[in-house]
Chain A
Amino acid sequence: MASSLRRKQAPAAATARASARRGPAGLWNSLPVLPRHLLAALAALALVAVLTSVTDGLTALRVANVGYYLLAVAGLQLLVGFSGQISLGNGAFMFIGAYTTALMVLYTPMAPLAVVMLAAVAAGCLAGMLVGAATARLHGPYLAGATLALAVGLPAVALRFPDLLGGSNGLFFSLRGAPPALSGLVSDSQWKALVVWFVVLLALVVLATTSRGRLGRRMRAIRDDEAAAATAGIPVGRTKVVAFVISAGCGSLAGACQAYLLGTATPSSFTLALSLSLLAALVLGGLGSLWGALWGALALVYLELAGEELAHAMGLGSNVANNAPVVFFGVILIVIVMAWPLGVQGALSRLGRSLRGR
């Protein structure tokens, strides 16, 4: 019944697509993928610039938070939503990025920010390659368990080497804010938000280009049917490792952005709860589309904020209030997944389809 209904809608959707091909949308679609994504990223950066210039420093900081969470969740999207490998440990890659950044800033103070960020990406990719190669043959709950161990175990490394990694206090460092030439125009927090979003959008361009092209298609093929993907000549194991490497690189870069923003890298920021929140945000935003990562990242930052405000408004004791945001997030997650099993993005794309169909 349901399938026959969907079949009837298909021709209508096809004609809608055909008419969209003409006009400005047609011009946009005729552009090659890379320039299209770069233009979109430029527009997004301009939006962030406008947004942070009309709001205060605290909002700028939150916008920057959304930025690096977006990157971490988008990297997880490629791994979970595209290649079909579940990871409960992507917070560990953020840990690697943050500590790489802290160590680089402390021990090679002359290195420019771009070099520090690239080093964080390299360290994350290396870790992703090791983890991906070790877990390429694991599926479902076994893979989840292995990555869970990573999330639990890695932050403990900071405690094991207190001299180098600062123990439970973590590492503190200071970074320059806005360049002196722009000091009158841009506040430090706005500048940092722009730097974070510049980095995030650049990485998102790579993610979007990858997921739209052959590599993304290979990953989705493996997710749907490994045997058929192998028959088509797709190296299943290698593609899975590549997905892990890209995902880890994004997670690490997100961690580097966080460290850059806060000037600290502490083990308590990279608990198991972070890894689980990333996955929860991904499910909430919607699996299988990079847009889902944006909704997930917004939810991570603003639902926590709303939870804190709610706890504050209700005058709860600090023991309860500290855990209120987590509970609040959990409740919202359950409600959204029950109402829209495909997450926010799933609901939006269904809405879009039914609007175009009419």
Chain B
Amino acid sequence: MAPTALDHLLEVEGVTVRFGGLAALSDVGLTIAPGTVAGLIGPNGAGKTTLFNVLSGVVRPQSGSITLKGERLRDHRPHQLAGLGVSRTFQGLNLFGHMSVLDNVIVGADRLARGGLPEMLTGLGRYQRDERELTARAMAALEEFGVADTAHALPGTLPYGVQKRVALARALVSEPELLLLDEPASGLSGDDTAELAAKIRGFGRRMGVMLVEHHMDLVMDVCDHIVVLNFGQVICSGPPAVVQADPAVAEAYLGTPAQEENGD
């Protein structure tokens, strides 16, 4: 459980990213509390992926700060985030194609193992125990998503919906405190999306979740708080009902009748 004394798990303040003359993000802020699901929406090119990349340390912002669990992240590298309790999924799934489903998920759990390099090389010390524990955790995660029977298959041989579940299991097996989901519903059938919504609500109680998604029904269904981006700026922020009622949001998605430029 996340500590209750902490108001915010993640706090993004004034983040600005410029690619040459283009401002991909300008002065973006958002907060995610533990045990809540925050949605990040906006039309294509609004800056959702850039914000995602800033959080995961792939892109460095020109200004602004990211605070995780009360500690400011400075120059963090992608692989350091797992140790800080942050996990993510990829839009393109990015499963390890030549490794079994079980090994895919075991890699996701790798940060929980304690053995060091000498133990990995010699098979002494914690080697055996690490292997056993990681395998057990990975199997439990696969069972949670109902895909344990595919443990020894290669991801590429499985239907897309099953691959999605494997990717979620890989992201969740490390028991993150903050989970970043990049368009988890894309390419899923209606039934699968409904199941996904139930899952997100389920693990959303154990951790903070940031959901980037185009599927509006899913976003409105599972999010406690929604941030709307357009042209790199936050144009609306609030609970689903507020966002749905905001004319600026409809404008961003559907365009304005008079075709005003930079109407903000």
Contact = CB atoms under 8 A, between A and B. Distances in A.
Chain A partners chain B: yes
Interface stretch (B14-22, B126-134, B139-147, B214-222): B126-134
Contacts of B130: 213-214
Interface stretch (B103-111, B204-212, B230-238): B103-111
Interface string B150-194: 101100111000000000001100100000000000000000000
A209 B123 contact: yes
A34 B78 contact: no
A206 B107 contact: no
B225 interface: no
A37 interface: yes
A233 B83 contact: yes
Interface in B108-126: 108, 110-111, 113, 115, 117, 120-124
B52 to A, nearest CB: 11
A229 B77 CA distance: 12
Interface string A212-243: 01110110110111011111111110000010
Contacts of A209: 121-123, 127
A14 B16 CA distance: 52
B242 to A, nearest CB: 32
B117 A6 contact: no
Nearest to A17: B152
B78 A227 contact: yes
Contacts of A214: 110, 113, 115, 120, 127, 130-131, 134
B88 interface: yes
Chain B at the A interface: SS class: helix
Nearest to A7: B157
Contacts of B36: none
A228 B87 contact: no
Contact of A213 (B88, B94, B123): B123
Contacts of B106: 217
A224 B123 contact: no
B97 interface: yes
A231 B120 contact: no
B99 to A, nearest CB: 6
Interface residues of A, number: 38
Contacts of A187: none
A234 B110 contact: yes
Contacts of A3: 156-157
B123 A217 contact: no
A13 interface: yes
Contacts of A215: 117, 120-121
Contact of A233 (B81, B94, B156): B81
Contacts of B97: 224-225
B98 A228 contact: no
Which residue, of B78, B107, B111, B128, has the highest number of chain A Cβ atoms within 10 A? B107
Nearest to B90: A228
Interface in A3-51: 3, 6-7, 10-11, 13-14, 17, 32-34, 37
Contacts of B149: 11, 14
A296 interface: no
A288 interface: yes
Contacts of B77: 230
B127 A233 contact: no
B153 A33 contact: no
B96 A231 contact: no
Nearest to B94: A228
Given A221-B99, A225-B94, A225-B95, A234 B127 contact: no
Contacts of A268: none
B79 interface: yes
B56 interface: yes
20 contacts: A3-B156, A7-B157, A10-B153, A14-B149, A32-B127, A34-B127, A206-B121, A214-B115, A215-B117, A220-B103, A225-B94, A225-B97, A228-B94, A228-B95, A228-B96, A231-B81, A231-B82, A232-B108, A232-B170, A233-B81
Closest 4 CB pairs of A and B: A233-B82, A34-B123, A224-B96, A233-B111
Interface of B: 56, 58, 77-83, 87-88, 90, 94-99, 103, 106-108, 110-111, 113, 115, 117, 120-124, 127-128, 130-131, 134, 149-150, 152-153, 156-158, 170-171, 174
